[in-house]
Amino acid sequence: MSEKIISETKMGEHIINESWMDQSQQWIPKLHEQTVYPEQIVRSMSDSHAFQGWRMETIGPASVLPKQTLCKGDEITLDFSQHLVGYVTLSLLNVRSNADAPLRLKLTFGEMPCEVSEDFSTYEGWLSRSWLQDEVLNVDVLPGTVTLNRRYAFRYLKIEVLDTSIRYDIQIKDIYCRAVTSASMDAVPPLPENIDEELAQLDLVSIRTLRDCMQTVFEDGPKRDRRLWIGDLRLQALVNYETFGCNDLVKRCLYLFAGSRLEGGQVGACLYEKPEPYVDDIYLYDYALFFITTLWDYYEATKDRETLEVLWPVAREQIDIALKRLDARGVVQDDETWYCFLDWHEQLNKQAGAQAILIYGMKRGQWIARELGLSAQEEQIQMQVQQAERATLHYLWDEEQGFFISGEERQVSWASQVWMILAEVVDKDAAWALLQRLMNHKEAIPMNTPYMMHHYVESLLQCGKKEEALAQIRAYWGGMVKDGADTFWELYNPDDKTYSPYGSNLINSYCHAWSCTPSYFIRRIFASTAC
């Protein structure tokens, strides 16, 4: 521990371990590139039966594009037929006469039809308008070829001709995207023959989702945030171990989180990579504890004992920090001075879920201490786990209702019950009985994200209910596919398909890391049995 502390310096409110930050640079992956051309010319159509009220109608093949002349006021929408992350190049030609004034185009990129169909000027969400993917392009010299500097995440591209001059029109002679990712599809092992067509499709969409989020770090979403978040990393890493096997990228992200921490040693919730890696000032109670889980999962997948030994002090530190949050009863203190994520829901109280994640994380910390032969630390953590479990059952279990309750209002939520099951606060039989009661509890705060749905599926599996878990995967992620997903989304509420915690579905991410886990379940759990 002393060696680690000596190597760290304090930079404002951050703790920097230069050695670990330097080491992380050696694991920066090479990006694979692929040139992808549009396949169809389409137009968006209002349709109340379609997802979020929009569908795409095919006009014709994109191969006719070079023959089409576009005048001022014209627009055209291109469908690349798959989700892409990369850099767009356009080759433009003036026709009728020379270009005596600059060409001005408006480009709008969309992961989903709504983004190229709705007017961005109506956006009133609380996240920055600058995340919406559009730009005005001025071209001074024609004919000419222009490559956009900004990386975009999209399937659809709408091109509007804002201005030419009275003397010339334009043709788009060529357009393509140089798609980039650090994941190679060639590295993914084939599925067993016993996997049916529906699960194979869910697996493929999951892999594409992860692929497009894998850049020089595991990004949470290539359209918006484009950051390394530890909650997403934990799930991305699980899928990666079963598919791409880019394990050095997981190691890189672990070293980045350990090497740039908040004041007091807290692992931050997210990191920026540019202009150089640094931790954001967001501390999430549950996300910091997931550093322990991610480290343990990485060790289980790779047996990289050196990384386990080097980063264990940081993992241990997160337990100590989290325990300081407990009140005199031994329960996570719930007031205005903290934040825990769990799931996107305005009414969700986080106290019980945070208590469960504390126990969940400490148990994995105990496993690491045992693996490293640190018997004194193992025994200490075991005692802390037992104390937290006793407090949980005494103060957060409502015997009359038959549920774990959270906060002063004694709220019952799916998140609280699921995480208590995952933390093994109750045994398998009691856990299944709890979930059955929950299914009939109409007032319980529901789940809103694939992130929380992943943990629900895990809880079903922990109860030994493989058929029920598989049915949930087919219904939930299969519902996204039926609604047009070619990569899985950040948010999906089947009862409210325009749901957004940000105030507008336009800003939602439609390729999002935490939604990619069907591949993990399909390949690790269900590939061994007929599905």
pLDDT digits (tens, 9 = 90+) for 316-328: 999 999 999 999 9
Q: Which of 513, 439, 483 is nearest to 492 (CA)?
A: 483
C-alpha–C-alpha distance, residues 232 and 487, integer Å: 15
| Residue 529's pLDDT band (cuts 50, 70, 90) | low
Tell me the per-residue pLDDT of 380-420, one tens digit each, with 9 for 90 and over.
999 999 999 999 999 999 999 999 999 999 999 999 999 99
Which residues, 6 or more positions from 333, have their beta carbon under 8 angstroms from its beta carbon?
325, 326, 327
Quote the mean pLDDT of the chain.
Answer: 96
pLDDT given at position 5: 42
- Token pair 């992943």 is found at 454
Tell me the per-residue pLDDT of 238-249, one tens digit each, with 9 for 90 and over.
999 999 999 999
| Residue 337's pLDDT band (cuts 50, 70, 90) | confident
Percent of the chain that is helix, strand, coil (3-state, to 5): 40, 20, 35
Q: Which of 418, 504, 410 is nearest to 469 (CA)?
A: 418
Domain boundaries, the chain: 33-181
* Domain 33-181 class in CATH: mainly beta
Find the mean pLDDT for residues 72-85: 98
| Residue 8's pLDDT band (cuts 50, 70, 90) | confident
What percentage of the chain has pLDDT greater than the value 70? 97
Count Cβ atoms within 10 A of the Cβ of residue 373 and give its class: 0-12 exposed, 13-18 middle, 19 or more buried. exposed
Tell me the per-residue pLDDT of 291-319, one tens digit each, with 9 for 90 and over.
999 999 999 999 999 999 999 999 999 99
User: Do 273 and 228 touch, CB atoms closer than 8 A?
Assistant: yes
Q: Which two tokens stand for residue 405?
A: 């309750």
Find the mean pLDDT for residues 435-447: 97
C-alpha–C-alpha distance, residues 95 and 409, integer Å: 69
Q: For residue 1, is pLDDT > 70?
A: no
Task: List 60's β-bridge partners, or say none.
Answer: 41
Q: Which two tokens stand for residue 18?
A: 């230069």
Q: Note the residue count of the chain.
A: 531
- Number of Cβ within a 10 Å radius of residue 445: 19
Residue 437 parent element (H or E)? helix 428-439
Q: Which of 9, 450, 24, 531 is nearest to 277 (CA)?
A: 24
Q: For residue 6, is pLDDT > 60?
A: no
Find the mean pLDDT for residues 521-525: 96
